Amino acid sequence: MLIGVLMATSMSTAHAADDGKDAIEPDQPGIVESSSTVGQGRALLETGLGYQRDKSDGVRSRLWSTPTLLRFGFAQDWEFRVETDGYQRLRASDASGTVRASGWADTALGVKWHVQDGDANTNKPGLAWLLHADMDSGSAAFRGQGWRPSLRLTAEWDLPRDWSAGLIGGLYRDRREDGGHFIGGILGASIGWPIAEQWKGYAEIAGDQLASTRNGGRSISAGTGVTWLVDRRVQLDASINRGLTKQTADWVLGLGISIGF
């Protein structure tokens, strides 16, 4: 990640004046992902540093992570995806003391299929299906229960004056500690706007875990952030999210970089 940051910051800002043709379209930041794919024979690495803080039921926790998504286009409208929260470090404290844990998060494998191009003249959205499966591959402290598949549909609209809007919805299947399975929901909406040349802002509200209390409850957050297209192959981003439910971390901060190949 550090090498990528150095690459981005060392590039001449003259590249930022590119017309944007063939510019990368990362899925980060945010939960509402783009409907585009990277294109056949191309790859896109999206990585960064995440920090979340939470206080719930007398427990204070701090979690650092390195969320990473690798996308590779094996056809013009199809891409293969490898996603993980990377290396994590957790510190949790309550009245009885402090617990620390570190290790690797689970990895998810998936595909994205871009099924429809958007058309601003007819208000037709760009559409894509995403099929993922999280594997129980992480370190013991961060490992989930078995394979957890999910299916999502994302839609993007191009609006006047370079504004945009997005929606994502889907279902996931997870496993409880007692061995039983359940189905949960995913739902989010976002709005994006231009700030300056190559700079954009966004705001979103999203639930990445919508389930009954027995099955983990509802994880819903509201967030905002900015992106800077340094070059048509490099983007930097920063984001902040506020948890709206008990099951969501109080605050989540992120810094990211996306590099196309």
| For residue 52, pLDDT beyond 90 | yes
Give pLDDT, residue 178. Answer: 79
Give pLDDT, residue 22. Answer: 85
| For residue 13, pLDDT beyond 60 | no
pLDDT tens for each residue of 183-235: 999 999 999 999 999 999 999 999 999 999 889 899 999 999 999 999 999 99
Its domain, for residue 68, covers 2-260
pLDDT tens for each residue of 119-165: 988 989 999 999 999 999 999 999 998 899 999 999 999 999 999 99
Amino acid at 155: A
Distance (Å) of CA 172 to CA 83, 91, 118, 217 = 16, 28, 26, 14
pLDDT tens for each residue of 68-117: 999 999 999 999 999 999 999 999 999 899 999 999 999 999 999 999 99
| For residue 5, pLDDT beyond 70 | no
Strand partners, 89: 64, 102
Give pLDDT, residue 11. Answer: 40
Give pLDDT, residue 228. Answer: 97
Give pLDDT, residue 143. Answer: 93
Q: Give how many domains the chain has, as a whole number.
A: 1
Give pLDDT, residue 20. Answer: 46
Give pLDDT, residue 71. Answer: 98
Give pLDDT, residue 9. Answer: 40
31, 241, 67: which is closest to 154 by C-alpha? 31
134, 157, 128, 160: which is closest to 147 by C-alpha? 134
7 vs 93, more confident? 93
Is residue 73 within 8 A of residue 40, CB to CB? The reply is yes
Give pLDDT, residue 16. Answer: 37
Give pLDDT, residue 21. Answer: 57
What pTM, to 2 d.p., does this model score?
A: 0.88
Burial 149-173 (b: 16+ CB within 10 A, else e): ebebebbbbbeeeeebbbbbbbebb
Residue-level length of the chain: 261
Is residue 244 within 8 A of residue 220, CB to CB? The reply is yes
CATH number of the domain where residue 225 is located: 2.40.128.130
Burial class (CB in 10 A: 0-12, 13-18, 19+), 130: buried
